[in-house]
Amino acid sequence: MSELTYLVTVSGPDRVGVGAELFAALASLAPAGANLSDVAQITIRNALILCGEITTSQSLSAEQVRAALLERNIVGEGINVQIEVVTNTTEVKGGRTLVTLLAPSVSAGQLHQVFAGIARSGSTCERIVHLAKNPVDCYELVIRSPRPDELRIEMSTVGRSAGLDVAVQREGLHRRSKHLVVMDADSTLLQDEVIDLLAEACGCDEAVKEITERAMAGELDFSQSLRERVTLLKGLDESVLDEVRAKVRFTPGAETLVRTLLHLGYVPAVVSGGFEQILAPLMDQIGVKYLRANTLEVLDGVLTGQVIGEIVDRPGKARALEDFALEVGVPLEQTVAVGDGANDIDMLSVAGLGIAFNAKPLVQEHADAALSVPYLDAVLYFLGISRDEIEQAKLG
């Protein structure tokens, strides 16, 4: 005898016990050959939609299914039950892809553009989770896609046109296994460019800022530009390093990001073209144990205008990420890199997930995802971490 598939949908105000009643009713149909094949639920502001799909022989009628439900007193108190035969069980083939989208506020018009792009790629949405409402609006979509590369292109295009930050990733447990998160310091973890603050102290800030901007835009070789800028600092008293460190500001959300990562068992790290003398005490302050940065040479309490050892430049940042991953015991596909400048491009490309944070277009082109909001903890949403988990981390 051929099989039938029934979709049982319970809807109405949520109340204690309704799920237990539904599954008790469906379980009572097992002797008649009914097997539970799928379950889904969503609750929005106490409005419940709970679905159970059962597959059975044609000897079990819809009336028998309804009778089993009525015996469990599900109907009533505003609760409705609908039973329908699923006549078309054709599903979109292909793997599951996660699409994370965020903005200060996500509108229905923006979601329309997203779902139109999903449809154009021949894909369907299986689930939507509202990860955060504040300080940004963030949704995570589980997409079934036969053409994931086409979906990625569509989402990138929609993101730019709709004003959304979008990340597209393969679904799987590996996502929550990205245990190493490597961040740039200046203009990423920190609001400031440290060398600019040092330049202000020696009165050469305009010259240094010009070189810095050209280097971050990819117009100059970073190593050469760093040496040129550090040369201008020659003669500064070592005490200036403490003064500058006191002025440095963390990016909004930076401390929340690190605290949450540590709470959830991730390993945060910082790789910077800046200076260890400034950064090391700051990293100790927030609990970051892994740091690689440049070291200013100091003789007799005065900066010499030189850098000691190998410069942490664009390829050096990628090597540092690889070294940290090896030390922590994490494969590269389970690493995350976050940066804003051209010297972060290699690091972003090597990581399993590269995130451009308020970055130039050149950097965004080499990243898997881009954030344009000013809150660094928004990185957590691309890892599937919800605002509730972030708030729990605050409580320890």
Do 75 and 102 lie in one domain? The reply is no
Active-site residue (options: 14, 137, 165, 184): 184
Do 210 and 343 lie in one domain? The reply is yes
Do 258 and 344 lie in one domain? The reply is yes
pLDDT for the residue numbered 89: 52
Is 284 considered catalytic here?
no
Last residue of a domain, one of 35, 63, 85: 85
| pLDDT for residue 90 is more than 60 | no
Residue 245 lies in a domain: yes
Average pLDDT for residues 292-301, to the nearest whole number? 97
Active-site residue (options: 165, 186, 346, 377): 186
**What is the CATH number for 351?**
3.40.50.1000
Secondary structure of the chain in HEC code, one letter for each residue: CCEEEEEEEEEEECCCCHHHHHHHHHHHCHHHCCEEEEEEEEEECCEEEEEEEEEEECCCCHHHHHHHHHHCCCCECCEEEEEEECCCCCCCCCEEEEEEEEECCCCHHHHHHHHHHHHHCCCEEEEEEEEECCCCEEEEEEEEECCHHHHHHHHHHHHHHHCCEEEEEECCHHHHHCCEEEECCECCCECCCHHHHHHHHHCCHHHHHHHHHHHHCCCCCHHHHHHHHHHCCCCCECHHHHHHHHHCCECCCHHHHHHHHHHCCCEEEEEEEEEHHHHHHHHHHHCCCEEEEEEEEEECCEEEEEEECCCCCHHHHHHHHHHHHHHHCCCHHHEEEEECCHHHHHHHHHCCEEEEECCCHHHHHCCCEEECCCCHHHHHHHHCCCHHHHHHHHCC
Residue 90 lies in a domain: no
Compare 66 and 115 and report the one with higher pLDDT: 115
Domain region containing 349: 180-394
Do 81 and 100 lie in one domain? The reply is no
| pLDDT for residue 215 is more than 80 | no
Do 187 and 261 lie in one domain? The reply is yes
Compare 181 and 175 and report the one with higher pLDDT: 181
Residue 164 lies in a domain: yes
Work out the pLDDT band at 358, boundaries 50, 70, 90: very high
For 74-88, 229-243, 247-261, 322-336, which range has the lowest pLDDT when averaged over its residues?
A: 74-88
pLDDT for the residue numbered 11: 92
Please give the tally of structural domains in the chain: 3
**What is the CATH number for 129?**
3.30.70.260
For 49-53, 112-116, 372-376, which range has the lowest pLDDT when averaged over its residues?
A: 49-53
pLDDT tens for each residue of 241-285: 999 999 999 999 999 999 999 999 999 999 999 999 999 999 999
pLDDT for the residue numbered 390: 94
Do 12 and 36 lie in one domain? The reply is yes
Is 184 considered catalytic here?
yes
User: What average pLDDT does the chain have?
Assistant: 91
